[in-house]
Structure 1
């Protein structure tokens, strides 16, 4: 039986054990006492008690149930020590569980509990200045201008069709997506374009230049260009120009990043640096990056580079800062990592872009040592 004057000593060691300041020698003494035939097994779960007071009461009840009535007087000092320790330990456990629940709540229940994914939507600006919201507009014909019929299909895509025997006039259309929007369009030459969030393309409605088919791009888009050996298809952006005859490729040319990337899925493309006029010819699975008057080319996983077009985030495809920007554009949020080093963070895995933001952040947390807290549309990162 332990002397009464040792009770405070063991409580003191329990306190040091909980806040991780206990020494190795103290830990051995504490373990020796705690494991010495106390019959003190107590099972706890996150739902064991709603408050510290209720938790203490339940622990006391469990201890009393374990008392051997025939040894009640003899064992009471030891039981008092065990009870004191278990209450101390269980309160700490309760607080630990509550802390984890609070961390989950930071991610899952802020911003009116949910931040949903982006959606299919865009705005079409016609040659006469009219603006049409493609998310809200009904299906069917939207406009007829310069010999071109513009319709929205039942599956939510924009389609340009040249009317037979019509004289094509000149006029420029702009298709643009906001943050959290994506859209697909079939151009007058039957080429298809998928626009990522916060992007736009500008083009003549009839593609009536006899020499070229010209599209101006801001942001990111995937192109499936119909073949026409006599009229090359040109995509022009701030830093580069891409020329093709008929092929599939992706261009990432957001104005807020210091480079433009072109990823080739099939065929070949010519990428020209507008600053130096130097160029590279890409082969399938190659990616060029135009930055600081230099064109770098490397081999990449095309499926990862095109994940956004197929409704996925490929978390291991780009550096962490780029992944954060992609998430910002899709969920209309802003990450705050001022003073937090993130260059060493690497990710892996895939997650659907239809997931709620909380699910994406949880997946990133599981694979890294960073934590997120949602404050309105602001996401605070800590390590």
Structure 2
């Protein structure tokens, strides 16, 4: 049996993803079953597994009937009929596991914490929201090449890409891949831009992997060879896994700061509509440099688990919840004592909607988790459960009301 005090999140996530893809080995399957059994007694483990499960693309939540059918499918799965060695009687353990799995597949429950009050009753969302439902964002972006030509990546295949460039391909999973860095006669830049409601992945010429969040823009050269530094420019939010090269530092430039690294994993949030520019380090080390007069240059170095915050001209550092910061990349929203207006800005970018406010809407703080693959109606319904806030959807406009 796994220990609830020391479970490996990466391992649990991998086991769940293998199970949902129906390609999990029997030994790993038994390990997953142990985790699920433990989750019935460990709230932290249960919540984590629920987050991972609900982050998978599910277009519609499970109805009661679908849940019952799924329950029967789990019980009839041939793997449940194999009796593991040194385990409790199979009928007792598998029955509990099946019940746990059904709980994990139910649509994500967003728990709100406002002045310590948890509301359990269901509430009906206005019919207007249901009639004007809006699907979540999806992988899409526009690539602008050095010659000015533009390619819509969600529709383009390798044939159309090759017409414009002989060293750019589109992988089977949709990500944009550049060939090995070559020295150009003249430096040309490409730009990949995600719209609201879009996100995309790209592998740069040096092997650096970049995940672009919605409403973001990355400008980079077609090759880094012969340059003193590998410099790119970012607007919006992106997660970087930088290919190590001690001879060629990697620099991410934003409008208010530069981030310099040799090879590391980090996230930058630099949306112009936000008051803060945040750089979060997951692995390695980065140097964050505030843009200002050279005589007054301010910089700091982060260690894993730290986040720099540039706000009102002041650069500071704090410890953060890495899982919450990286939730967007992993397929879900995680709110940690976050204001309603901040949350609605995220909703606006991901669902490609405009948000307006009517009346005196209290700016409550919320905590909870929900999949980014849910339609907007389901997400808004979770907020209406807290009372004090309601929504009206007209076209691609959401009006927030008390």
| TM-score for the superposition, normalised by structure 1 | 0.68
Per-residue deviation at 1:338? 4.9
Describe the SS at the equivalent of 2:348: helix
Distance 1:242 1:284 in 2: 15
Per-residue deviation at 1:376? 2.1
Distance 1:119 1:240 in 2: 29
Describe the SS at the equivalent of 1:315: strand
Contact 2:361 2:389 in 1 (8 A): no
Contact 1:189 1:226 in 2 (8 A): yes
Describe the SS at the equivalent of 1:211: coil
The verdict on how the C-alpha distance between 1:298 and 1:339 changes in structure 2, with shifts beyond 3 A counting, is farther
Given the alignment of the two structures, is residue 286 of structure 1 paired with residue 309 of structure 2, yes or no?
Answer: no
Per-residue deviation at 1:368? 5.1
Distance 2:358 2:250 in 1: 42
Given the alignment of the two structures, is residue 260 of structure 1 paired with residue 277 of structure 2, yes or no?
Answer: yes
Given the alignment of the two structures, is residue 104 of structure 1 paired with residue 126 of structure 2, yes or no?
Answer: yes
Across the aligned residues of Structure 1 and Structure 2, the Cα RMSD in angstroms comes to: 2.1
- CA displacement, residues 77-119 of structure 1 (integer Å, 9 cap, x when unaligned): xxxxxxxxxxxxxxxxxxxxxxx76x43132112xxx211111
Contact 1:200 1:217 in 2 (8 A): yes
Given the alignment of the two structures, is residue 142 of structure 1 paired with residue 164 of structure 2, yes or no?
Answer: no
Residue of structure 2 aligned with 1:161, choices 153, 162, 179: 179
Distance 1:256 1:223 in 2: 22
The corresponding residue for 2:82 is none
Aligned ranges for residues 103-252 of structure 1 at < 5 Å?
A: 103-110=125-132, 114-139=133-158, 142-143=161-162, 149-162=167-180, 169-252=186-269
Describe the SS at the equivalent of 2:233: strand
Distance 1:143 1:292 in 2: 45
Distance 1:227 1:318 in 2: 35
How many residue pairs get aligned? The number is: 277
Per-residue deviation at 1:353? 1.0
The verdict on how the C-alpha distance between 1:196 and 1:167 changes in structure 2, with shifts beyond 3 A counting, is closer
Contact 1:315 1:349 in 2 (8 A): yes
Given the alignment of the two structures, is residue 380 of structure 1 paired with residue 380 of structure 2, yes or no?
Answer: no
Residue of structure 2 aligned with 1:330, choices 347, 350, 362: 350
The unaligned stretches of length 5 or more in structure 1 are: 1-99
| TM-score for the superposition, normalised by structure 2 | 0.65
Contact 1:149 1:163 in 2 (8 A): no
The verdict on how the C-alpha distance between 1:313 and 1:222 changes in structure 2, with shifts beyond 3 A counting, is same
Describe the SS at the equivalent of 2:288: strand
Distance 1:130 1:116 in 2: 30
Contact 1:168 1:208 in 2 (8 A): no
Larger relative contact order, structure 1 or 2 (CA cutoff 8 Å, min sep 6): 2
Distance 2:361 2:126 in 1: 23
- CA displacement, residues 215-257 of structure 1 (integer Å, 9 cap, x when unaligned): 1001110000011111110000001100011111100101222
The corresponding residue for 1:310 is 330
